[in-house]
Amino acid sequence: MATIAKLMNKEIRRLAKSEARALVAGIKKDTVRLKKDNAELKRRVAELERENRRLARAEERRRKEDTQAPPEKVQKARFSSKGIRSLRKKLGLSQDQFAKLVGVSSVSIYNWESKGGALKLRASTAAKLLAVRGIGSKEARDRLSKIDAAARARAGKKRRARSRNRKKSKR
């Protein structure tokens, strides 16, 4: 009697395994297909991220090129203290903010505005002022926020470097 029970039990297991294999085979195929699809999607996302970074760099270069005025325009450009003051007021910036935007000191802006008459500026400064002439107040605020963010990042790097140097010197 025990041998018949063992044989029946063995046969039931065999049949159950074959049924389970048949059911799992479809799931395995689906799993393989999903893994392939997932890998393909990851490749496409990585490719799109690379393309996005490339386009962002190109846009940044284009913006930098836009901020540079052609040399012939720089030579012909004329700046007056009244013009500098009105440009700064049009952009709605303080002397300090305008100085950061142009890349000069706030004392320079003060001197330019209080001098009166025509100003004689370096070609690089004149080019920066020409570039600022063509923007609006929103664009000026955007550029200022980028300048401030870059300055904070540089300050953070310097702070971390000083901290590392102090730790090294203590050892």
Alpha-carbon span 11 to 17, nearest angstrom:
10
Looking at residue 70, its pLDDT comes to: 64
Task: State yes or no: pLDDT of 73 exceeds 80.
Answer: no
Task: State yes or no: pLDDT of 67 exceeds 60.
Answer: no
Looking at residue 162, its pLDDT comes to: 73
Looking at residue 134, its pLDDT comes to: 80
- For 81-139, the pLDDT digits (tens) are 898 999 999 999 999 999 999 889 989 999 988 887 888 888 888 888 888 888 888 88
**Lowest-pLDDT range, 8-12, 25-29, 140-144, 160-164?**
160-164
- Give this prediction's pTM: 0.53
> Pick the residue with more confidence: 147 or 40?
40
133 neighbors 87 (Cβ within 8 angstroms): yes
Q: Give one DSSP letter per residue of 28-71, joined into a string.
A: HHHHHHHHHHHHHHHHHHHHHHHHHHHHHHHHHHHHHHHHSPPH
- For 159-169, the pLDDT digits (tens) are 777 777 776 67
Q: Count CB neighbours of 171 within 10 A.
A: 4
Domains recognised in the chain with CATH numbers: 68-170 (1.10.260.40)
Looking at residue 164, its pLDDT comes to: 73
- For 34-64, the pLDDT digits (tens) are 999 999 999 999 999 999 999 998 888 777 6
